[in-house]
Structure 1
Amino acid sequence: MSDMTAPAKRPNNPHFSSGPCSKRPGWSLDSLKDASLGRSHRAKIGKTKLKDAIDKTREILGVPDDYRIGVVPASDTGAVEMALWSLLGARGTDILVWESFGAGWATDVVKQLKLDDVRVMEADYGTLPDLSKVDFSRDVVFTWNGTTSGVRVPNGDWIADDREGLTICDATSAAFAQDLAWDKLDVVTYSWQKVLGGEAAHGMLILSPRAVERLESYTPAWPMPKIFRMTKGGKLIEGIFKGETINTPSMLCVEDYLDALNWSKEIGGLKALRARADANLAVLEAWAEKTSWVDFLAKDKAIRSNTSVCLTIVDAEVAALDEAAQAAFAKALVARLDKEGVAFDIGAYRDAPSGLRIWAGATVEASDLEALTEWLDWAFACEKAAL
């Protein structure tokens, strides 16, 4: 194949978006035929489905029995904001920032909650802050997997066993693809549309007994919107964590989440989901290793994401261009593949360095990524010839 000849093999599924992510293999609208539509979510059928979603979440993720799991509004963002507004302020806060979503949480805490005692510990895209500098006598807010930088924490070993503060973890692109250290985490959030490819709109909020104790013993100084309130009369509203949602959920989305959870169980649960994501990352690593024009934003393999794979264009001629021209080159490459219908939504996040972001989570097939790599080489050659 010459550089300018398009590859013969196309990905069967060209959906490589980092959120909402690709639907599971074999998904169709028929998967939603049992959805509880036109009924109250507070009717027995609705409550049963919501409780089933919570129970299967616990089973597949291995969430401890004494942790609460709730379905909450507004995707992962809503779940994180509920935690920040409800729990912070009792102690000083350390916030770890190495990509745009972590930066967003820092902005909310500093500029919206306006807490006095906040340390924002930042690192450049592609790296982590110095985890040894985190003070666990304070509350700690961090993302487990940085979706827009392709960098994850390597494990939970850096979190103190005898922590006094709470750990609040945005795990939206890590849950179901990476091992979460539950004994080190007090609040975990994620959304259905990431690793399982579920429909958007709802988030999951998981609380440890320590987080519940904080909720019941601490009242923030600021007004709390109804949609964030998790206590009444100083006690946890237990119904939230039994399927009695704060607001009206989409039962169509709930059915889709149940479908994704059932698929996860059928293929072997968390171990199989993680293995699929790891195999997908391995495809891209093998390609990048033999490809001179591209490299990972995360140079250290120990902190490299197996879901949101972020790549940068390192070809000497492209790298010599100014920043705007480099970004334009990457966008043109992405647009070419989109036009060909072989890869959708693989451009770097708007706040991240220019390049590519390819979703490699468990719903993506390794064979599709293998086919994609040939198209990436073709698109690069085409754009390079146009310089």
Structure 2
Amino acid sequence: MTDYVRGLLHEPPLKPERPQFSSGPTVKFPGWSLDKLKTSSLGRSHRSAHAKGRLKYAIDLTRELLGVPDDYLVGIMPASDTGALETAMWTMLDPARPVSVAAWESFGNIWIQDAVKQLKLPNLQTLTADYGEIPDLATIPQDNDVVFTWNGTTSGAMIPNTDWLEGGRKGITINDATSAIFAMEMDWAKLDATTFSWQKVMGSEAQHGMLILSPKAVERIESYDPAWPLPKLFRLKKGDKINRGIFEGATINTPSLLATEDYIAALEWAKSIGGREALFERANTNADIVKNWIEAKPWLKNMVSDPAKRTNTGVCMQFTGDWYDGLSVEDQAAVPKKIVQMLEERNVGYDFNGYRDAPPSLRIWCGGTVEAEDISRLLPWIEWAYEAVKSG
């Protein structure tokens, strides 16, 4: 064992103060505690004026912080981002129209399976790419409806821009933005249905999603009646018109008012530190710490080869080098698992393992609720654990 390795096998002196690095649910905002949540709506009907007012306040804060255009609708949906995204697909995608679904990681592939196996869309273009890559989105016809994931939560690959979408194009655009929104600016003029969940970038409680609709999306919903059955949780219309009550705090089913208060607390914190621009800056700073560290380690590589497509939220890294490459497939897969286990046992870092369907990897969440100092303290521990695993 070299002196270098022997030195590394001494545990680093500092641990993160908040060791939560999960990519969803993500860590709470700094200073969070239960006593920060208002409880006056608890035990009340979600249809009471007071509770509806709190739900509407969450909607209004979301609109304000994200800079959503005034003529767009913002609503709270059941079943997290999945419920919001599938509601958009089930209510807007028409078998008579051409549709393109693009995916480059696990969740985008779920939307492809929805289009192929559930909706059985006959005029369907699917675009896929391996983890860390993005398909050629410029091949999507502008007349097509499009479903895509802005940021690959499980691969760390994001779209670098929306140049591949023309302004005023004929098709509608459905955007799964759950691990991008509040960390990257949305190009609202080119987005017709945008979805996300509270537990991602804002670190709030799960099971609630958000659906943001453009006027063109509303027009599609009102003019189109799907042939397939719509579960109650997907029904956005009242008669022939969109049910605007959903976008004023009258949710489709009973929401958790405690989770709503948790989301409100996160939004108020974000507003207090400078809004979405401050969240963008925090995420960029955090991600740069991790990206620069990866570049400095010959035994690591960013899962995304193109720097322009590297996310600032869930940064994914893979192992490389002679020692790792010489291991069997099973032993390679065991390396990140062992590292995560070692650091979890020491209360250094939780849940920063790569996604189960992704290549063997580590994934560190860098969104705006994470403190840069905690990331800086985590990285030496990963290096320590790697050397410990390598030395046997």
Question: TM-score over 0.5 for the alignment?
Answer: yes
Pairing 1:349-368 to 2, within 5 Å after superposition: 349-368=355-374
Query: Which amino acid counterpart does residue 85 of structure 2 have in structure 1?
Result: V
CA distance in 2, matches of 1:12, 1:252: 26
Query: Which amino acid counterpart does residue 113 of structure 2 have in structure 1?
Result: T
CA distance in 2, matches of 1:198, 1:222: 33
Displacement after TM superposition at 1:38 (Å): 0.5
CA distance in 1, matches of 2:325, 2:101: 32
CA distance in 2, matches of 1:224, 1:158: 32
CA distance in 1, matches of 2:224, 2:314: 36
Q: Does 1:45 align with 2:53?
A: no
Deviates more, 1:319-328 or 1:115-124: 319-328
- In the superposition, the TM-score normalised over structure 2's length comes to 0.97
Q: Does 1:163 align with 2:176?
A: no
Query: Which amino acid counterpart does residue 39 of structure 2 have in structure 1?
Result: D
| Aligned counterpart for 1:103 among listed residues 95, 104, 109 | 109
Identity %: 53
CA distance in 1, matches of 2:330, 2:156: 22
Q: Does 1:309 align with 2:353?
A: no
| Aligned counterpart for 1:6 among listed residues 4, 7, 11 | 11
Task: Give a deviation string over 1:256-307, Cα, whole Å, max 9, x none.
Answer: 0000000000000010000000000111122112111111101211110100
- 1:298 maps to 304
Deviation above 3 Å: which 4+ runs of structure 1? Answer: none
Query: Which amino acid counterpart does residue 215 of structure 1 have in structure 2?
Result: I
Which stretches in structure 2 are left out of the alignment for 5+ residues?
1-5
Displacement after TM superposition at 1:232 (Å): 2.0
- 1:272 maps to 278
CA distance in 2, matches of 1:257, 1:293: 39
- How many residues align? The count is 386
- 1:77 maps to 82
Contact 1:155 1:180 in 2 (8 A): no
CA RMSD, 1 decimal:
1.0
CA distance in 1, matches of 2:165, 2:13: 49
Q: Does 1:22 align with 2:27?
A: yes
Q: Does 1:285 align with 2:287?
A: no
Task: Give a deviation string over 1:30-56, Cα, whole Å, max 9, x none.
Answer: 112435110001111101101111111
Contact 1:12 1:368 in 2 (8 A): yes
CA distance in 1, matches of 2:103, 2:231: 26
Contact 2:168 2:190 in 1 (8 A): no
CA distance in 1, matches of 2:372, 2:44: 40
- In the superposition, the TM-score normalised over structure 1's length comes to 0.98
- 1:154 maps to 160
Query: Which amino acid counterpart does residue 304 of structure 1 have in structure 2?
Result: R
Query: Which amino acid counterpart does residue 200 of structure 1 have in structure 2?
Result: A
- 1:241 maps to 247
Contact 1:156 1:180 in 2 (8 A): no
Are residues 35 and 275 of structure 1, via their aligned partners in 2, closer, same or farther at CA, if it must alter by over 3 Å?
farther
- 1:225 maps to 231
- 2:69 maps to 64
Query: Which amino acid counterpart does residue 206 of structure 1 have in structure 2?
Result: I
Query: Which amino acid counterpart does residue 183 of structure 2 have in structure 1?
Result: A
Task: Give a deviation string over 1:78-100, Cα, whole Å, max 9, x none.
Answer: 00110111111241110111000
CA distance in 2, matches of 1:16, 1:330: 15
Q: Does 1:193 align with 2:238?
A: no
Local SS of the residue matching 2:8:
coil
Are residues 35 and 11 of structure 1, via their aligned partners in 2, closer, same or farther at CA, if it must alter by over 3 Å?
farther
CA distance in 1, matches of 2:208, 2:20: 21
Contact 1:35 1:255 in 2 (8 A): no
- 2:378 maps to 372
